[in-house]
Amino acid sequence: MSDVKDYVDLKVDEVKLRTTQGLSVAMGRLVSALLLVGLLVIVLALVAVVLIQWVGQWTGSLAISSSIVCGAFLLVLLVLFFLRKRIFRDTFVKLFIQVFYGDGKE
């Protein structure tokens, strides 16, 4: 009976360790992703300002150039919206499967 109790305790410890490992990897990737998204937002804002100035020189109006750049960003957003399942959901499902179930290389 003692052997069964020891076996169950070892299995519980194994589940705890796997869960801790999976969560730590997931949190590390989440923090990395948040940092990358933050940097991407800053870069996109700077690119938008540059594009507005550049297109504004051609059109002679910052209002028109702002509208053109905004339309371009909306077009990119629309494409990302229609491709969201392929780009985001499938990617995250594969990521979580790899994080929590491993890649079989252990």
Q: What is the pLDDT of residues 49-76, one digit of tens each?
A: 999 999 999 999 999 999 999 999 999 9
How many residues are present in the chain?
106
Domain count, the chain: 1
pTM of the model: 0.58
Domain-embedded: residue 16: yes
Q: Residue 40 CB: number of other CB atoms within 10 A?
A: 10
Half-sphere exposure of 74 (CA within 13 A, CB side): 6
Domain-embedded: residue 106: no
Q: Which domain holds residue 80?
A: 2-101
